[in-house]
Amino acid sequence: MSESKRSLQFRPQILFTNEQWKDDLLRQYLGRLNLADDHSNMSIVSLSSEQSSIISDPIDHESSNEISNDVYDNVCIGGTFDNLHNGHKILLSTAQLKCNRSLTIGVTNEQMLKTKTLPELIEPCEKRIHSLNEYLNDIDPYIHYNVCEISDPFGPAIVDQTLEAIIVSEETIRGGEKINEIRLSKGMKPLKIDVIKLLQEDHKENKVEENKVSSSSLRMRKLGTLLKEPEPRPHLPDKPYLIGLTGMIASGKSSIAKKLQKLGAGIINVDMLAHKTYENSNMPAYKKIVETFGKDILDDNGQINRPKLGQIVFNDESKLKLLNSFVWPEVRRLLQIEIDAMKTKYPIIVLEIALLIENYRMDQVHQVWLTILDEKEVTRRLMERNNLSESDALKRIEKLMPTNEKLPYANVVFCTQWEEEFTMEQVKRAWKMLNEKFVK
């Protein structure tokens, strides 16, 4: 890369700097901006340690990894970089200030996100890389950026001989040290490790958020908000306004429905209507189900034993579809009766439907609201609720559409992972949005 000076489109009047940056480093940086001969007309403001925390707040580290004023040709950093926030920008800006030529950035892919909070809401890796490239080139287009997808915690840092330094946060110091251990084992020169403090969050919206500025907190704030504008439904009447509440089995749909009911929504459990279609031999779907799946699914009273039927259909997708074909036509008839009976009282009616998306019933509601939950917690709840073994619970989960395939259809997302108070906050947020924007 050529050593050409950089030219700004305007002449800055003020330069804000952390007090720990030495004068010779500032002069070097101004020279790179083609301002070295013009800094006499510029005010240079050195911030106090407290003030500078919004820009960069270096810390000491016992392994002599304290942040330095050194500048390197080739620097690297890594992270998820979801929802670029001030914490990310501190890390990125520090790396840019310390980099003369090339900045390598490893962006974690989907394989590494399973332990993150609300991984379902993390943007795709390609989108995160695109956002990074846009931001970096907007701030400093003269550095060469190598923004790449990584599937392990180390990425290019353990193979690129040209790298000289790595910028890490307090949380990832050990990761930087591990990288150097691997580099040394390969006969490579260790990287200089510069550590920056995490930016503290002074405006937490709820007590379950972290005390630092983080992507996970920003994802939490998306819960109960409108993530996607609803598609027009000209075939549906404006009132009542129908919400399809769906989600993974044992993910908290009924809990969300009860909270919406407290706020004034009419609730129809469509899954319960489905059970009614075969609750006795007089119901339309009863005969078809018994003829198809055999009399072994009947209990001593001649009623269909739902757990036995579930064991059959949840282990065979074709049989589940066949069951739905028997049940759904009658469900639609019963559902319309319920809606007609409730529409004069409730301007908003929530339909709780487990297989709304799987059965392509999205056009029967104005909006799709989705509950998501960590798979381990889903498994635990399902085992407890249905008295299943772990293997049986996992088999049932595996037969269902994964949450990440449902998300593109969702207008609003909830998560019941935390205490009831936070779940209620999500529901109130969604209810307020719904009434202000869609139901007049």
Would you state the pLDDT for residue 356?
Answer: 93
Q: Which of 39, 55, 71 is the last residue of a domain?
A: 55
Domain assignment present for 211: no
CA-based nearest residue to 340, from 259, 240, 418, 241: 240
Question: Which pLDDT tens digit goes with each residue over 307-362?
Answer: 889 888 877 878 888 998 899 888 989 999 999 999 999 999 999 999 899 888 89
pTM: 0.78
Mean pLDDT (whole number) for 377-406? 91
Please indicate, yes or no, whether residues 51 and 87 belong to a single structural domain of this protein. no
- How far is it, in rounded angstroms, from Cα 213 to Cα 87? 6
**54 pLDDT higher than 50:** no
**45 pLDDT higher than 80:** no
Please indicate, yes or no, whether residues 171 and 259 belong to a single structural domain of this protein. no
Q: Is 107 exposed, middle or buried (0-12, 13-18, 19+ CB in 10 A)?
A: buried
Please indicate, yes or no, whether residues 76 and 186 belong to a single structural domain of this protein. yes
Contact criterion met (CB below 8 Å) for 427 and 256: yes
Contact criterion met (CB below 8 Å) for 36 and 30: yes
Alpha helices in 201-283 (DSSP H): 215-222, 253-263, 270-276
Would you state the pLDDT for residue 373?
Answer: 95
Would you state the pLDDT for residue 284?
Answer: 81
Domain assignment present for 406: yes
Domain assignment present for 377: yes
Task: Give 200's strand partners.
Answer: 212
Per-position b or e across 132-171, b if 16+ CB within 10 A of its CB? beeebeeebebbebebebbeebebbbbebeebbbbbbbee
Please indicate, yes or no, whether residues 146 and 231 belong to a single structural domain of this protein. no
**18 pLDDT higher than 70:** no
H or E, element range at 245 = strand 241-247
Please indicate, yes or no, whether residues 151 and 291 belong to a single structural domain of this protein. no
Q: How many CB atoms lie within 10 A of CB 347?
A: 16
Domain assignment present for 392: yes
Domain assignment present for 267: yes
Please indicate, yes or no, whether residues 29 and 87 belong to a single structural domain of this protein. no
Please indicate, yes or no, whether residues 402 and 320 belong to a single structural domain of this protein. yes
pLDDT band at 32 (very low <50, low <70, confident <90, very high): low
Domain assignment present for 202: no
**55 pLDDT higher than 60:** no
Would you state the pLDDT for residue 69?
Answer: 67
Please indicate, yes or no, whether residues 133 and 179 belong to a single structural domain of this protein. yes
Per-position b or e across 267-280, b if 16+ CB within 10 A of its CB? bbbbeebbeebbee
- How far is it, in rounded angstroms, from Cα 58 to Cα 64? 13
User: Using N-to-C axis directions, what is the helix angle for 306-313 and 317-342, rounded to 10°?
Assistant: 130
H or E, element range at 133 = helix 125-139
Would you state the pLDDT for residue 64?
Answer: 37
Structure tokens, 375: 């798979």
Domain assignment present for 210: no
- How far is it, in rounded angstroms, from Cα 294 to Cα 33? 80
- How far is it, in rounded angstroms, from Cα 122 to Cα 208? 18
Per DSSP bridges, beta strands 192-196 and 165-169 are parallel
The count of domains in the chain is: 3
- How far is it, in rounded angstroms, from Cα 410 to Cα 357? 9
Please indicate, yes or no, whether residues 136 and 249 belong to a single structural domain of this protein. no
Please indicate, yes or no, whether residues 337 and 261 belong to a single structural domain of this protein. yes
Question: Which pLDDT tens digit goes with each residue over 96-148?
Answer: 989 999 999 999 998 888 888 999 999 999 999 999 999 999 888 889 999 99
**Residue 102 sits in which domain range?**
57-196
Residue 132: give its domain's CATH number: 3.40.50.620
Domain assignment present for 188: yes
Residue 281: give its domain's CATH number: 3.40.50.300
pLDDT band at 430 (very low <50, low <70, confident <90, very high): very high
Q: How many CB atoms lie within 10 A of CB 9?
A: 4
Please indicate, yes or no, whether residues 290 and 421 belong to a single structural domain of this protein. yes
Please indicate, yes or no, whether residues 82 and 151 belong to a single structural domain of this protein. yes
